[in-house]
Structure 1
């Protein structure tokens, strides 16, 4: 099994989080410059379409890119505080077939003062069909940065959920 993990804006996949992910699968964690590449989803698709990626995960801007990439590659995914409703960094999306058959989980922090929970919830409420194979989890104490303990717990829950929601 192989995970593609996409870090947030001006960030990177830290070793502690990589170690947690490696308990479940091999991890690809590229260093990305979202400001310099305005077609990051296209780039990632072309870069990894032959890699046999099984799962896509990301946080913040990586959650944004990962969310759309998961549809483009038709893969399940887990996204922490994805920057879905924001356009602070110019990005162009390729044409995407929005198939909702793969399981996707979105974790939203109520205390996030970078990607406001209400904006993400509103975005998802207006774009996800009622029959989408998705789970949205709201964590009251979660801020924008995901602490190691919450990350570890949510990764475990995701893999438990994945077994239940597999098609």
Structure 2
């Protein structure tokens, strides 16, 4: 299994989280410069459209890109506190000419104490754009803030891959 991990703004995939993901497959984690490249989604689509990517995992800005990429490629996705409703501080273009295959399954993990990307704003976005997803699980973890602790990352990743394997 090939897993595409999309990190958040000014972030990287930690060694601990990489180890967790490697239990499920080969991890591809490109270094993304969201601020200097407003065409990340198009670039990722062009790079991976003909590769055998089985799952996309994204966090924050990587969750934003992962949402749109998963729906263009028709791939399952696990998104942590995705920056879906926010596009003001960092401009990212959503290519209109990409195919819309719709993600067959998404698991979206939202933090009840996230002050960077508020869960209620994501829920509003998702309710207005629900037709983009065929099957969606939304997990709201009350005590979770914006950063994803390793223990929660491990639990949610396991839940995602258990569902993905059915």
**What is the TM-score normalised by the length of structure 2?**
0.94
1:154 counterpart SS class: helix
Gaps (5+ residues) in structure 1?
none
The aligned counterpart of 1:54 is 54
Count how many residue pairs are aligned between Structure 1 and Structure 2. 164
Check conservation: 1:104, 1:133, Cα contact below 8 A.
yes
CA shift digits 1:57-109 (9 cap, x unpaired)? 10000000011000111101000000000012111111244444611111111
The within-5 A match list for 1:90-101 is 90-95=91-96, 96-100=98-102
Q: Secondary structure at the match of 1:138?
A: strand
Q: Name the CA distance, whole Å, in 1 between partners of 2:143 and 2:128.
A: 25
Q: Is the 8 A contact 2:103 2:132 kept in 1?
A: no
Asked whether the 8 Å contact 1:100–1:133 carries over to 2, the reply is: no
Distance change (3 Å), C-alpha of 1:31 and 1:145: same
How many angstroms apart in 1 are the aligned matches of 2:109 and 2:31?
Answer: 22
Local SS of the residue matching 1:129: helix
C-alpha deviation, 1:48, in angstroms: 1.6
Alpha carbons of structure 1 residues 54 and 36: separation in structure 2 relative to 1, 3 Å? same
CA distance in 2 between partners of 1:90 and 1:30 (Å): 19
User: Retained in 2: the 8 A contact 1:9–1:60?
Assistant: yes
Q: Flag structure 2 segments of 5+ consecutive residues without an equivalent.
A: none
Instruction: Report the aligned-residue RMSD.
Output: 1.5
Which residue number corresponds to residue 136 of structure 2? 134
